[in-house]
Every structure is written in structure tokens, then in C-alpha cells.
Amino acid sequence: MKKFAIAAATATALTLTLANAAFAQTQATQAPMMLAAGEVTEAKEDVSDTWITTKVKADLVTEKGIPGTDIKVETNKGVVSLSSTVAVTDSQKDVAVAIAKKIKGVKAVSADGLKAE
């Protein structure tokens, strides 16, 4: 009976030690998870700019009379910049700017990089 009591006490002590170690590990891993949550917020902003760029580019490519494949689109914090290596007319430039301004999330449009004919 005495051996059983010693074995039970030893098992309990080991169990408590392991439980405390597991608890300490759980708490230690929660802090990086909180940090990762902050990084997700930054990623959402990047995705928003990426979405705006993709949507503007898609709308430019599908618009008739616009050289959409030749217009480069970049977005930074909601500001869309349009540029091209080929010349576009003033009316094409105006249409491209209007298309970009219609996209949700666009704060401003710069078409300084579009070459005029």
C-alpha cells in the first residue's frame, strides 16, 4: 500500500509539472498570434490596392477604343497612377481616368504618365 501511495504521489507531481509546462507553452505561443493579427490588417490594405489595380486594368482592357493592354496601372493607398509607353489621345486619356475614378476605393487618379499624341 505504501508503494502505491508513493507511485500515486510521483505520478501526480509529474502530471502537474507537465501540465504547467504545457500551460506555459500555450501562453508563450499566444503573443506571436496577436502579432500576426496585426500583420493581417496590413495585408488587407495591400489586397485593397491590388484589387483596385486589377479592377482598373480589367475595365481598361474591356473598354473599346482604349489601348488597355498598353496602359500600366499602379495603386498606392487608393491613388491610381496610369502610364503608358504608347501615345494615347486626349479623349482616350479622359476615358481612362474616368474609368479609374469609378472604381470603389479609388481616392485619386494621376494620368501624368500617359503619353499624349
48-100 pLDDT, tens digit each: 999 999 999 999 999 999 999 999 999 999 999 999 999 999 999 999 999 99
| Cβ pair 102, 56 in contact under 8 A | no
5: confidence class by pLDDT, cuts 50, 70, 90? low
Domains identified in the chain, total number: 1
Mean pLDDT over all residues of the chain? 78
DSSP, collapsed to helix, strand or coil, labels residue 117 as coil
Q: What does the angle CA 39 – CA 110 – CA 53 come to, to the nearest 5 degrees? A: 45
CA dihedral 99, 102, 107, 108 (to 10 degrees): 30
* pLDDT at site 115: 84
pTM of the full structure? 0.61
**Amino acid at site 44:** K
Domain that holds residue 13: 2-116
